[in-house]
Amino acid sequence: MPAPLGANRQVYPYVHGNGPVLPLSVPTPDLNTLPLPDLYRELASRRVAGGPSLVRRLLELARDEDLGEQGDVTTRVFAKPGAQSSCEIVARGHAVVAGLVIIPEVLSLMGGGTFRAAARDGDRVQPRQSLGRLDGDSRAILAAERPILNFLGRLSGVATRTAHFVAAMGPGVRSKLFDTRKTTPGVRVLEKYAVRCGGGMCHRMGLHDAVLLKDNHLAGISSADLGRFVTDAAARARASCSISFFEVEVDRLDQFESILAAQRGAPESSKVDIVLLDNMGPELLAQAVTMRDRSGVAIELEASGGVREDTIRAIALSGVDRISAGTLTHGATWVDFGLDAAP
C-alpha cells in the first residue's frame, strides 16, 4: 500500500509562515486526514519562496481587481464615513458550504469588520438559512460583499458537486473519490479544500509533490518494456527527490500486467504505489482488481475517465481503491448566496 499523500518528507519551494524562503525538506502532513480547520491552515500557509501565501495572493488579487486605485467609488458617495452596518449571508438554495473560513481575511483586506459564523464549512444548508453575520464599517462590508459571495459561490459549488458524487457511489464500496489538477488557475488550494468539504479527497497538489507518469511521458515504450521502465523510474525518482507517491497511468491490461510482473519482488525504493486505469469500463476495472489481488503486489488502483454521477457506482463496485474525477472542479456550478441586512 502506498504511503498516505504527504506522509513523506518533501522538498518543494513552498514554505510556511515567515520561515526561510529557500527550498526546504519539511514534514508535510497527510491532507486527507486533517480536520477541515487544520487543512485550511495548512493550505493557507503555503507560499512560493519569497512571496506571500498562495491564498493571500489570491485574496489580494480579488481585492485589487475590484477596488483598483480609486477604491469603491459608489460606496464613497453613498455611505457616510464611519457608518456601521450589520448584514447576514443567506443561502438561496440547498448546498454544501465551503469558503466561510476565508471571510475574516477578506474583511481585513477590505478595511475591517467582524464575522460571526452560524454554519461551518462542510455543513449542508437550506434555502434562506443564515450562514453568519457581518458587522462593521459600511464601506468595508459593501466592498467585501462581492468577493465574499464569489468565493462562497464557487467553492460551495465544488463542495456540493463533490457531495453529490460521493452520495452516488452508494453503500458497500471501498473506493475513495479524489480530485485532479483540472482546477481554476490560481484557485487550486481553495478548490481542493472545497473538495474535502464535500467529502472527497485531495490528489497531488501539483507537479511538485508526487510523480504521475502519463501517456505523454511513456510514448514509444512497449508494453513488454513498460514494467521494467517504470520500476527503474521509481528508483530514480526516490533517489533524486522526496515524493508523496509514485503513480503510473495505463490504458490497457497488458500494460498493467507488465507493471505487476516487474513489481514482484522489487525493492521498496522501486515500488509503484498507484496505477491509474484510464478510461476502462467497470468490467476491465474488475479484471485489473483481480489481476492485482492474485499477483500479491501491493499497488492501489485508481479509475479515471468517464466518471459521472450515473457511472460512478458501477466504477466503485469494480473494487478499485480510488476514483479521480476532474468534473468535481471543472464541472461545478456556482451556488447562490446573498448578503441581506440583518434583522
Q: Is residue 277 part of a domain?
A: yes
Same domain, 136 and 173: no
Same domain, 156 and 21: yes
DSSP-assigned beta bridge partners for residue 338: 90
Same domain, 64 and 119: yes
Question: How confident is the prediction for the chain on average, in pLDDT?
Answer: 91
Q: Is 271 a catalytic residue?
A: no
Percent of the chain's residues with pLDDT above 90: 85
Amino acid 5: pLDDT: 38
Q: Among the options 88, 137, 179, 249, which is catalytic?
A: 249
Distances (CA, A) of 91 to 132, 149, 162, 178, 198: 10, 10, 18, 27, 17
Number of domains in the chain: 2
Q: Among the options 182, 228, 252, 313, which is catalytic?
A: 182
pLDDT tens digits for range 210-225: 999 999 999 999 999 9
Q: Among the options 41, 174, 214, 308, which is catalytic?
A: 214
Q: Is 278 a catalytic residue?
A: yes
Q: Is residue 160 part of a domain?
A: yes
Q: Is 268 a catalytic residue?
A: no
Contacts of 61 by beta carbon, 8 Å cutoff, 6+ apart: 186
**Residue 161's CATH number:** 3.90.1170.20
Whether pTM > 0.85 for this model: the answer is yes
Using 50, 70 and 90 to split pLDDT, how confident is the model at 12?
A: very low
Using 50, 70 and 90 to split pLDDT, how confident is the model at 8?
A: very low
Same domain, 153 and 183: no
Using 50, 70 and 90 to split pLDDT, how confident is the model at 125?
A: very high
Q: Could you give the CA distance from residue 89 to residue 92 in angstroms, rounded to a whole number?
A: 10
Same domain, 193 and 87: no
Amino acid 49: pLDDT: 76
Q: Is 65 a catalytic residue?
A: no
Mean pLDDT in residue range 52-61: 94
Same domain, 242 and 177: yes
Q: Is 182 a catalytic residue?
A: yes
Domain that holds residue 106: 9-165+333-341
pLDDT tens digits for range 27-42: 578 999 999 999 999 9
Same domain, 18 and 161: yes
Contact 268, 235 (CB under 8 A): no
Amino acid 36: pLDDT: 97
Amino acid 21: pLDDT: 37
Continuous segment of H or E residues that includes residue 341: strand 337-341
Same domain, 158 and 204: no
Same domain, 213 and 312: yes
